Structure 1
């Protein structure tokens, strides 16, 4: 298993990307496991909030492209991102270290996201050959369009402060404290009315149809020409 599933306290589920030897890059099976874990939560009323994080001092170094260039594996990534968008359970990201490509895209589809102060982000889609995948183009809806273009077209690295200003993060915390902040938020959500949280999330995400269209439009990784 490349995903570790834990319930640190009642109602809180933590999904940890557990491939530290690969810098937590997401391969076909990891995408599948994450999607299944998220989809199963909505069928379990005892789980009130989900936290997604990465093993060690990093979130994810993006997709493991070798698994996708010559096969249909990108559909697994689409399935995961659709699961994030469709979930009625609050989803909270806790990121540290590096967050690359689809790892950044995932933050757009989470309800909350916390990052350690020295976390570094990048969206190198154009540089690597693929277009902005998984609805990453929706970054222009949370950041000024010129800033989104700079992040997506140039793929330059940027820090947690800029990610927060761009609307990717709920809050920047001290290094090593992102998971703690995420679990605290999950515990706050647990104490609220489950029905009210679900309805409110649906209202906040009422444009999810457009988001799903953007995810489905993504052609996925391809080779340089």
Structure 2
């Protein structure tokens, strides 16, 4: 297990992916990013998986890019490959048909913070810390900025990007970077509860909704409503919508077929 960069565990529709480079604070080596992309592509077509929990092993969630690896290579083409792969990874998270939940303990910095911002939901330990500290080493966090600027306000994003300071979990919650802050010893349980609630829903409905959200968010109001009116019409034609409505009317538990 110690030699496995990414550990996958599946249980009752919940797929838990553990970043497994504890000695390097789960930094995103090129190999780990590629492993994540490959696994996300496999999960996208796996109807048995309805939600993903992403977490880190060891003392922290993810410290960002593996700077030692990058400096060891030292070539522009390698840097471009690294950042392109990272951009592909983050877009995979956003474009997956099912939700991704970040479970954060310890630090989530630079590309690790970017990963949190890219996830659909995020739960943080009260002792977790976040930063986009590139300015401290002469490397502005430009790619983390893309994800960060889409989940927090402009001034909050620029505060993190320009100062590069660590912020605590409560401050991250105030900014909208995370959904919940819980005690260290409650993080696993609370994440499991949230994941189980998502997994209990129709995968088909969740997939339709997540993808529609991404399409409508930047549209003008009238276009967004036009888009989502079509989406809901299509959703009404699915098996699970009919099943869910019938179950509601007849006061019974729905039996999803995820189609």
TM range (shorter): 0.7 to 0.9
Q: By how many angstroms is 1:95 displaced?
A: 0.5
Give the gaps of 5 or more residues in structure 2: 220-259
Which stretch of the first structure deviates more once superposed, 74-83 or 23-32?
74-83
Q: Aligned match of 2:161 in 145, 152, 156?
A: 152
- How far 1:140 moved relative to its partner? 3.6
Q: After superposition, where does 1:1-225 map in structure 2 within 5 Å? A: 1-7=4-10, 9-69=11-71, 70=74, 71=78, 72-206=81-215
- 1:168-218 deviation digits (Å, cap 9, x = unpaired): 1010011143233222211111111222111111222225899xxxxxxxx
Note the C-alpha offset of 1:149.
Answer: 0.9
- What TM-score do the two structures reach when normalised by structure 2? 0.75
**Residues of 1 paired with 2:31 and 2:217: CA distance?**
26
Larger Rg: 2
The number of equivalent residue pairs is 209
Q: Secondary structure at the match of 2:28?
A: coil
Distance 1:125 1:208 in 2: 29
SS at match of 2:184: coil
What is the CA–CA distance in structure 2 between the aligned matches of 1:138 and 1:80, rounded to whole Å? 12
Q: What are the Cα deviations for residues 102-124 of structure 1, in whole angstroms up to 9, with x where unaligned?
A: 11111121111000001111111
TM-score, reference length from structure 1: 0.85
Structure 1 unaligned blocks of 5 or more: 211-225
Greater helix fraction, Structure 1 or Structure 2:
2
User: Higher relative contact order by CA 8 Å / sep ≥ 6: 1 or 2?
Assistant: 1
- 1:86-113 CA distance string (max 9 Å, x none): 1111100000011111111111211110
